[in-house]
Structure 1
């Protein structure tokens, strides 16, 4: 490319690998304080030419990505010499820590061999000068580590030829001087060792007006007095401090109720041996998935002695970036900030390495797009427990459980824990009706309990009457953070427009179960399109596949509270004629099916009878 603007832009992108570099930063790097009026266009041209050059060299077409406000170059751990250098240095230090100095020496040599001249030598400017100085210092610090290892191994005679030119070129680096003095003294060349000290002292006095440091002076005295000098012990660099034992789970719900069978199955899956386990809990908003996951996590503390990690991924509102979640996990496990790489792939690889010999439980709450969070899966004997509105079966090896409303007895137990046992069992029938109007959803039952607790003189029957007559029951069952409306709305945001319209129209069918052929009639779309939309609704748990089905295919059912909410929305958004239109479509579809089946035209089912898998209401 030559010494031109493209090279400066490339350098700026590489200095911030896998991070977005704003266009303004690229402009500053190229023109500093005097950019032309067309600077942003010229940067765009530079990036285009860089892409062409890389494509011609066989690089991926998306190597340089356009992001909002800037550009990003995506590279793996082994694609950049700076990354490869740090990786080799980490390995070398780990080998020193376990006493394998021979292998450590090879790793240090591999790292230092990556330096081929001055970094960014073809560029000028304050930024590149600072970066070049940083890497020069980094190289020297690693070089001095390698020399210490060599002296520890007794290679003092070999290292003299390495050290002499370095000390001549960099006489102010006292550690290099000390290493050369030690190597000469151990090689029975005492006079030369003293000469090195004398030259260093004169240089420092002439340039700085200072005597050498205490360590160098002490070494000089030992050589003068003929004291034996042991080679420096190789510093045992730990990759990071001893790992922490994180305990990030939120507090468990004090009045958690029911789910005994499901608790047993989930716990058994997570306890199983044989590599990492991933269990998912899927269900519509308000079913208590998070409370269940946290309850399970607290009960497995002994099984996972290396800690429990937790992250709310906000999948339905503002999805968290996996690399930020990994940063938090690595920090919780004791990895120092400076050791945490920038890119997602690098962080995921480090996370797998850190967790390889651990037993951790990781709870990922509110996962929306499972493929984005595969990087958060650990290795070894750790386990993952996920929650999400949609099915997460795309995660390899995952076991998924559907979390629905509570059975009536458990719903009554929850309501009793909120408003008092005496109050509930004094009006058991009304309590059952409240549970039914809440769709047996724990969140809605908790909201009802909060309303009743705030009205201690209100009877359960009068509250039941209030709920039953509410046009928008969801509003009555939303209080503070117990907001059923918000939970449902966030799920509806994931629907395509055709799916949302079908959901509204299906709610206008006054049927307990809706067969697939009727959904096609209501949607007025081809059968395959309707099936895909129904799959989407089931996947988001806005509709459920009813057990059993019919010879004509599956049937579908609403949670009662969800259907009430859908009907309220349908009335407001589709208009008053929508319900009659839906009923007319069902009637025409029934007549066609009766005609095709040879039945009497114009047949109308009587109340309570069952025709084609549906029950007339």
Structure 2
């Protein structure tokens, strides 16, 4: 041991340490060092500096601090030491490094340095093929550099690798980015120089870029401005049907109001895919918000109460806006609604969040206005709009003035420059096939509706299908009760659950005592599709011939049902 210590002291002196670093101290030896002489502490200090500079919007200096922190690394930490105890610390340090690399990359993407990042990100993806955030950043850099085909291939490689290695499809981060790139969604384009200079403290890649083609919604934007003057704890709640434009409205307003939140804008997309949200979803959302507040993943407390206390403390001190997109249930977000005086939360959901109704600024997002719909579609199709104004207006109405439908129709016309607008308008006049024409590439209004339908309780799903068999889009409570052979109380409860899920609309009942309901035309077309499919299945079952089966030693004639 003494020989080894002597060699170690010699090595320190050769490295330039003047004082004796290894001291004799009973019952053995002690290593004396200052904080600046440990590279891991220097790394953590520079990362903290980078995050602080980012929060103050000093992005250039922040990138320099990130580069200095990562420049301290020389391969894998403690690579020459073999020990189970040390290996745990190595994994923790490695995770810290990966998180910092992603933060640095997000900042460089915000500053428009996508071309310089591609080579570096390609290497990182090869080293960490299952790390979705890094692969998403590579796709974004490729897309912004004009290499869209390469971005698509990066996604295809990810999908093959995920399926081969873990038997799962890529997660929401990659799936949503893939769809956004396919549709040339404005949210993934390079932010303008002005928006980069005035952006919030959260770098791009975390919060979507503003939507350059956003138009209309003046009343909704003014209503949301009221949120700025409400007491702490009041939540903005945007609800509406699939494709109605809740997320676009939330993102646009958040950018518009960003200067009122110097602490930054947090953004979590919950993907609205959990039929029965689990407690783990709420924990994941909490951890994501802590990460965006500058807490490294490895430093997030494992204990839920500790993590909640940390989040409350941070949001009490900072004026932040927390945007929670595509929320399925209050359970998912109950830990991250901030309580600070200057902090606010804005939630979008296809469902009514009953726990928040009485403490929220609640807006039911409706289809855009007639002029706005035509303007939105015209912005997509360009010069053809002026040549065919009547066809353009009719097409906007056939899309129910739903922004997602307008975007799909416009994208289809962009992809077919030889088509006059009238051609698509004529095809969409048939309500039986209208949804077929609102599919293009990975974009599908039918699939959006299907997601909401699949989350219904069985009785509500059955009623939705049966209502598709009615010959009218508007009907009364007694019609529905008769159709389902339910008493009016049970029928009304089920109908109201469809209204809450924004698959059905309640009609103003001032002129009659009976509750009335109606479908938006495209949702009615979807319900009729489901009804016809169910009828075909039943007819096929009835037409099957009987078959002989053995039962208890006897042969019996059975009919398929």
Same fold (TM over 0.5): yes
**Mapped pair 1:246 → 2:208:** no
Cα distance between partner residues in 2 of 1:501 and 1:213: 72
**Paired residues of 1:444 and 1:482 also in contact (CA < 8 A):** no
Report SS of the residue matched to 1:469: coil
Change (3 A) 1:457 1:529: same
Secondary structure of the residue aligned to 2:210 is coil
Partner of residue 478 from structure 1, selected from 439, 450, 467? 439
TM-score between the two structures when normalised by the length of structure 2: 0.58
How far apart, in 1, do the equivalents of 2:532 and 2:25 lie? 90
CA distance in 2, matches of 1:345, 1:527: 46
CA 1:305/1:520 → structure 2, altered by over 3 Å: closer, same or farther? same
Residue of structure 1 in register with 2:221 after alignment: 263
Cα offset for 1:202? 7.0
Partner residue, 1:290: 247
**8 Å CA contact retained: 1:290, 1:387:** yes
User: What does 1:62-81 align with in structure 2 at a 5 Å threshold?
Assistant: none
Q: For 2:411 and 2:31, locate their aligned partners in 1 and report how far apart those are by CA, in whole Å.
A: 72
Distance 1:358 1:524, change over 3 A: same
**Aligned mates of 1:215, 1:389 — CA distance in 2:** 57
Relative to structure 1, the CA distance from residue 554 to residue 343 in structure 2 (aligned partners, 3 Å threshold; closer, same or farther) is farther
SS at match of 1:302: helix
Alignment partner of 1:466 out of 427, 438, 451: 427
Q: Which residue of 2 aligns with 1:408?
A: 370
- Match of residue 522 from structure 1: 483
Whether the 8 Å CA contact 1:286–1:442 is kept in 2: the answer is yes
What is the CA deviation profile of residues 112-149 of structure 1, one whole-angstrom value per residue up to 9, with x for unaligned ones? Answer: xxxxxxxxxxxxxxxxxxxxxxxxxxxxxxxxxxxxxx
Within the alignment, does 1:417 sit opposite 2:417 as a pair? no
User: Deviation of residue 514 (structure 1)?
Assistant: 1.1
Indicate if the aligned counterparts of 2:473 and 2:521 stay in contact, CA closer than 8 A: no
Aligned partner of 2:67 in structure 1 is none
Out of 296, 320, 335, the position equivalent to 2:295 is 335
Q: 1:502 maps to what in 2?
A: 463
TM-score of the two chains, using structure 1 as the length reference: 0.53
CA shift at 1:575, angstroms?
4.0
8 Å contact kept, 2:468–2:529: no
Secondary structure, aligned partner of 1:361: strand
Pick closer, same or farther for the CA change 1:298–1:575 going to 2, 3 Å.
same
Task: Indicate how the Cα distance of structure 1 residues 337 and 286 shifts in structure 2: closer, same or farther if over 3 A, else same.
Answer: closer
1:273, distance to aligned residue in structure 2 (A): 4.6
Change (3 A) 1:246 1:514: same
How many pairs align? Answer: 351
* Per-residue deviation, 1:311: 0.2
1:154-553 superposed matches below 5 A: 244=55, 245-247=201-203, 248-269=206-227, 271-317=228-274, 321-337=281-297, 339-380=299-340, 381-395=342-356, 397-420=359-382, 422-469=383-430, 471-553=432-514
Deviation at 1:283, TM superposition (A): 0.7
Tell me, yes or no, if the aligned pair for 2:265 and 2:322 is still in contact at 8 Å.
yes
Distance in 1, matches of 2:298 and 2:474, equals: 58
Shift of 1:215: 7.8
Superposed CA deviations along residues 389-439 of structure 1, whole A, max 9, x for unmatched, are: 01123126122111121111110000100002x422432332222122212
* Residues 84-138 of structure 1, C-alpha deviations (whole Å, 9 max, x = no match): xxxxxxxxxxxxxxxxxxxxxxxxxxxxxxxxxxxxxxxxxxxxxxxxxxxxxxx
Q: Hey, what's the Cα distance between the residues in 2 that align with 1:213 and 1:316?
A: 53
- Offset from partner CA, 1:159-201 (integer Å, 9 cap, x none): xxxxxxxxxxxxxxxxxxxxxxxxxxxxxxxxxxxxxxxxx97
Bigger Rg, which one: 1
1:258 is paired with a residue of what secondary structure? coil
Following TM superposition, by how much is the alpha carbon of 1:478 offset from its aligned partner in structure 2, in angstroms? 1.8
Measure how far apart 1:507 and its partner are.
2.5
1:449-508, Cα deviation, whole Å (9 max, x unpaired): 011111222122221111123633223202234321121111001112221121122233
Tell me the SS of whatever aligns to 2:322.
strand
Contact 1:437 / 1:468 at 8 angstroms: preserved in 2? yes
- How far apart, in 1, do the equivalents of 2:220 and 2:33 lie? 66
Contact 1:474 1:485 in 2 (8 A): yes
Q: Where does residue 520 of structure 2 map in the other structure?
A: 559
Contact 2:23 2:31 in 1 (8 A): no
CA distance in 2 between partners of 1:550 and 1:344 (Å): 52
Shift in CA distance, 483/344, structure 1 to aligned 2, threshold 3 Å: farther
Conserved? CA contact 2:503–2:519, under 8 Å: yes
**1-structure distance, mates of 2:210, 2:472:** 39
Contact 1:280 1:386 in 2 (8 A): yes
Q: Which runs of 5+ in 1 are unaligned?
A: 1-199, 217-236, 579-617
Is the CA contact 2:270–2:325 (under 8 Å) kept in the aligned structure 1? yes
Show structure 2 runs of 5+ residues with no match.
1-21, 35-44, 56-200, 540-561
User: In the TM superposition, what whole-angstrom CA distance separates every residue of 1:250-284 from its partner, at most 9, and x where no partner exists?
Assistant: 01222112111111101222x11531331111011
Report the 3-state secondary structure (helix = DSSP H, G, I; strand = E; otherwise coil) of the residue aligned with 1:356.
Answer: helix
| Contact 1:289/1:403 (8 A) holds in 2 | yes
Q: Is the 8 A contact 2:274 2:328 kept in 1?
A: no
Q: Does the Cα contact within 8 Å between 2:239 and 2:352 map onto a contact in 1?
A: yes
CA deviation profile, 1:354-383 (whole Å, cap 9, x unmatched):
111221011000000113311111121211
Counterpart of 2:214 in 1: which secondary structure? coil
The root-mean-square deviation of aligned C-alpha atoms, in Å, is 2.7
